[in-house]
Amino acid sequence: MSDQIDVHKVARLGALAVSDDEVAAVGQKLNAILGLFDQLAAINTDGVEPMAHPLDQVQRLREDVVTETDIHEYVQQIAPKVEAGLYLVPKVIE
């Protein structure tokens, strides 16, 4: 089951850079981790529902009432780059 991991692909999905000289070492560790997962395939889970949450709870609903206030000046103190109330990022090209 454990294919060799495509390091460049998973790095791209995670928005991480892996340089060419790191690829082999990173890939070797990732593949070792994937190797641990092989035993999952051996377990019979026929008819077993996937379990996403430990408790059988259901989603609680919040009343549709505004309680939040304008905090932009405060929270933008910790932002890397802001101007005119906007978060600045390198130009978005579509």
Residues that bind another protein (CB under 8 A): 1, 5, 7, 9-17, 26, 29-30, 32-41, 43, 45, 48-55, 57-68, 70-72, 74-81, 83-94
Q: How far is the CB of 21 from another protein (least distance, A)?
A: 14
State whether the Cα torsion 7-8-10-11 is positive or negative.
positive
68/75 Cα distance (integer angstroms) = 13
Taking the least distance from each CB to another protein, the nearer of 21 and 50 is: 50
Taking the least distance from each CB to another protein, the nearer of 24 and 39 is: 39
Taking the least distance from each CB to another protein, the nearer of 20 and 40 is: 40
73/86 Cα distance (integer angstroms) = 10
The C-alpha R_g of the chain, in whole angstroms, comes to: 23
What residues form DSSP beta bridges with 82? 87
Q: How far is the CB of 91 from another protein (least distance, A)?
A: 5
